[in-house]
Chain A
Amino acid sequence: MRVAVADDAVLFREGLARVLSDGGFDIVGQAADAEELLAIVREAPSSRTPQVAVIDIRMPPSHTTEGLIAAKTIRAEQPRIGVLVLSQYIETEHAMDLVGDGAGGTGYLLKDRVSDLDGFRDAVRRVGGGGSAVDPEVIAQLVGRRRSSDPIADLTDRERDVLSLMAEGRSNRAIGATLSLSEKTVEAHVRAIFTKLGLLPAPDENRRVLAVLAFLRSA
């Protein structure tokens, strides 16, 4: 899978590139800011066009949300390219801004997650393949948010684990692998969760992530 990485911190960017190339990714470009990244995406020959871009949210010149804006620009210009935004801080606001468009191919992770090498590579692969990757901390914050009437309190611990992984963008098989459950059992949990939360079970995984995120945010 072809990847472009963008971060103004050279050491980290190099590390990132190594983690990915060690994991079998093809690094087609490295950028130090949003402009360079957009140039790579726009000007590369189609055989060298990245399938996914991993982007630091804070880059020059203003060090605020250049990466996020670049990610959205890429999504708007070339919807087939996945974008995975990394940040030192987790903000639900940014997560929803990016993942909330519903089309998949987006991800938002805490920068520290990169050091979970396999998990990170998996997330990049998911995003590159049109799926989603939402940082567990975003989900934890949403799940952990206390509500006045809380349907999440009705979930069993196991169901809550499944819900969190589901919201991160993981497939039933991945959830099963993480929790050492059979895919069938995961499916049963998912149905139970959707019923308890009053949501309709969705076969499309992107829609499923979105429905769960929307529920978590609104309730």
Chain B
Amino acid sequence: MTGGLEGVSMSGRRGGFAAREGENVRHRAGATAFAGTLLILLLAGATAALFTIDGAIGADPISNILALVAVSCYAVVGGLIAARLPGNACGWLLLLVGLGLVVTIGADAGSTAALRDGRLALAQWALWVNSWLLVATVWPGIVLYLLVFPTGDLPSRRWRPVGFAVLALAVVGSGARMVQTFDGEPFTNPLAVPDAAPVVETIFAVVSMAFAAALVLAVVSVVLRFRRASRDERQPLRWLLVVAILSASLLVVAIGAGALGLNRIGDPFGVAFLLSLVLGLPVSAAIALLGHHVRGIEFLASRSIVYSVLAAFVTVIYAVVVGVAGVVLAGGESVFPAVAATAIAAIVFQPTRRRAHQLADRVVYGDRTSPYELVATFTERLDEASLPEILPRMANLVAEGTGAQRVGIWLRSGGELHAVAGWPPEAALPPPAQLVGGDLPDLGAGQAFPVRDREALLGAISVDMPPQEPMTSATERLLADLCGQAALVLRNIALVEEVQRSRQRLVASQDEERRRLERDLHDGAQQRLVTLSLDLRMAREQADARGDVELTARLDAAHQELARSLAELRELARGIHPAILTQTGLGGALRSLAERSAVPAQVRSVPERRFPPEVEATAYFFVSEALANVAKHARASSVWLTAQDEGELLTIEVSDDGIGGAELNGGSGLRGLADRVEAVGGRLDVSSDPGAGTLLRAEIPCV
């Protein structure tokens, strides 16, 4: 075989060799795993056959039968995982546990059967195997499984001593068991060393305690792994948590009911506890590692947790109330404790149920919001978001609630649907799609759900589910519900966008109006007054030439008055709309502003290209107002001006070295500035810690 592989590597590409080798390993592992599963199932069958022999099933038939069911489960799941993921120890460990369990049970039953046949030696050796095999296989198997789940590797190198210790404990412990005297059996261990009995006893007691400690450590490792894991890595671990919570609550009920003497309730719960504990490992492994999306499994798991936790809770209340009442009433027969317990349970039932729901949702769905919660809180959670965040948040919520790989939120604009937000947030948004009649067009996604307000199509939610987790009818219903709630949000967004557009139109027409007004002034009043001023001066020259001193003086005064009016008119016109903005664009206009600034202003950089008129006007008035603000409030000695062209965005910063402490809504005119910037779809940021100067930063979209 090796020779053949080398031949391949000589003639073929290295990748081909590696792939071929990987395939071979997988192939061999699959065969081994299959053989292991088959062996265990055969042994389980044989053991079941032995059980039919009278007495062989032992004193606790239910546990033994359950154990056989569990064995089959370990065999099948372990075999599947080992074949599918041969490099992952989890599958092999499950197989080991299954094998150890079945042989141990089989040996016990076999020993009884052999005894009945009068074959003492066989019975003796069977019991001998039964005595140590559990310690050699099942104990270390389960601890190691918890340590390496779900990756097949220890959480970190620091855990290696624990791994080795478990192996050593298995060897020492099973060794001790091999030479230990049988307890309460009709015959002795053939290999027993009676002289060393106390030593062996002590050794085994120590090993048992060490195993218990190792089990605790293993549980700790699971918790640590969970806390360190990313969202994706957590998913498989959740199922272990489900098993843990389920088992713990069932155990509480079993113990509580037992303590109350209610064996008819306690016993089934005891069985359920064993079942969930023993079956839990392979079942959770199957769901987690084989990645089969079992329809409704999450719902089942979450409801199981809710009900088992509730049962445990009610049991505890009964136990406590009945116990306390028993002490207080000193044994007198009374219905009071039962009534009281029922009352208390009834009162706290609802809050507890809600808590149990939350717990179950958190464990089963993790960061993924449970569908129940998602629908209940969808609009509420969107309300918390600020306007620009609403649609991304919506995409995020839908992704969380459905487990979708990609989510798109689409908004209708005329005859087109535009993707306005998506998840994951870094993914590029798809291009717009043309509407076909009133129906949804192909949005290039797995599924698309229309968002309608009455009959009118407002938008859509598109969803791509991961391949291993296809769309279920439950998720479809969930999405249909969400679309109903999204309608309100999308309608609001559409309204807000309409308001934004009309704001923008207003600003644009206002700018246009200002430009027109300035031009009218320039070509009209200003022009006429300049000409008039010229005429006055010429008249004065004539008066002067004629020697009319009084007229000369009056014309001089009139001319000076006119000159002042002209200067005022000039400033007024500049305030309405600066000619230089139209003439040279933002660069020259901002430099001009800086030169006129009352507080010394330094221009760090300004873009030289032209922008749309409303962008230039907004930027200009922003800087103009900002400089006026600095002069009025900042007590600054310098102010710096930076305008940067970032393609789709024009970023303008005005910073000063003044007293700081400016607030957007502090009544210093910043609100008006923000309004102006927001009207063209931009945003204004203010950072102004007291004593640290003020930085105003406006971002204006310029496409």
Q: Which residues of A contact B (CB under 8 A)?
A: 9, 11-12, 15-16, 18-19, 22, 58, 63-65, 88-89, 91-94, 111-112, 114-117, 141-142, 145-148
Contact = CB atoms under 8 A, between A and B. Distances in A.
Interface stretch (B242-250, B433-441, B457-465, B579-587): B579-587
B509 to A, nearest CB: 20
B121 interface: no
A11 B579 CA distance: 22
Contacts of A65: 583-584
B523 A9 contact: yes
Given A19-B538, A112-B533, 16 more contacts: A11-B531, A12-B527, A15-B534, A15-B535, A63-B523, A64-B582, A89-B570, A89-B578, A91-B583, A92-B595, A115-B559, A141-B595, A142-B595, A145-B595, A148-B600, A148-B638
Interface residues of B, number: 37
A63 B519 contact: yes
Given A18-B538, A145-B595, A93 B588 contact: yes
B217 interface: no
Contacts of B523: 9, 63
Given A15-B535, A63-B519, A112 B563 contact: yes
Nearest to B533: A115
Contacts of B537: 115-117
Contact of A117 (B527, B541, B582): B541
Given A15-B531, A15-B534, A64-B582, A91 B559 contact: no
A93 B584 contact: yes
B501 interface: no
B579 A115 contact: no
Nearest to A15: B534
B588 A91 contact: yes
Contact of A115 (B536, B578, B580, B583): B536
Contact of B530 (A12, A58, A142, A146): A12
B556 to A, nearest CB: 11
A87 B530 CA distance: 11
A24 to B, nearest CB: 14
Contact of B580 (A16, A91, A114): A91
B592 A92 contact: yes
Given A15-B538, A65-B584, A114 B600 contact: no
Given A64-B582, A112-B566, A141-B596, A88 B538 contact: no
Interface in B550-596: 559, 563, 566-567, 570, 573-574, 578-580, 582-584, 588, 591-592, 595-596
A155 to B, nearest CB: 18
Nearest to A89: B579
Contacts of B592: 91-93
B588 A114 contact: no
Contact of A114 (B534, B579, B637): B534
Interface in B586-638: 588, 591-592, 595-596, 599-600, 637-638
A147 B538 contact: no
Contacts of B580: 89, 91, 93-94
Nearest to B596: A141
Contacts of B559: 115
Interface of B: 519, 522-523, 526-528, 530-531, 533-538, 541, 559, 563, 566-567, 570, 573-574, 578-580, 582-584, 588, 591-592, 595-596, 599-600, 637-638
Contact of B600 (A89, A112, A145): A145
A146 B567 CA distance: 22
A147 B637 CA distance: 10
A58 B522 contact: yes
A148 B657 CA distance: 13
A27 to B, nearest CB: 15
A117 B538 contact: yes
6 contacts: A12-B531, A64-B579, A91-B592, A111-B530, A116-B537, A147-B600
Contacts of A142: 595
Closest 10 CB pairs of A and B: A146-B600, A15-B534, A115-B537, A115-B533, A93-B588, A12-B531, A64-B583, A9-B527, A11-B531, A65-B583
Contacts of B588: 91, 93
Given A65-B583, A141-B596, A148-B638, A88 B535 contact: no
Contact of A9 (B531, B573, B638): B531
Contacts of B534: 12, 15-16, 19, 114-115
Nearest to B594: A145
A18 B528 CA distance: 16
Contacts of A148: 600, 637-638
A111 B537 CA distance: 14
A111 B541 CA distance: 19
Contact of A88 (B530, B536, B563): B530
Q: Which of B523, B530, B533, B567 has the most CB of A within 10 A?
A: B530
Given A88-B579, A145-B595, A112 B584 contact: no
B586 to A, nearest CB: 12
Nearest to A92: B595
A88 B570 contact: yes
Contacts of A111: 530
Given A63-B523, A141-B595, A114 B530 contact: yes
A18 B539 CA distance: 12
Contacts of B522: 58, 63, 88
Which residue, A93, A115, A117, has most C-beta atoms of chain B within 10 A? A115
B612 to A, nearest CB: 16
A145 B602 CA distance: 11
Nearest to B637: A148
A147 B638 CA distance: 9
A92 B589 CA distance: 10
Contacts of A114: 530, 533-534
B603 to A, nearest CB: 11
B623 to A, nearest CB: 15
Contacts of A16: 534
Contact of A22 (B531, B533, B538): B538
A140 to B, nearest CB: 11
Contact of B579 (A9, A19, A58, A145): A58
A22 B637 CA distance: 50
Contacts of A146: 599-600
A97 to B, nearest CB: 9
Contacts of A64: 579, 582-583
A114 B582 CA distance: 25
Contacts of B582: 64
Contacts of B538: 15, 18-19, 22, 117
A63 B566 CA distance: 20
A88 B579 CA distance: 9
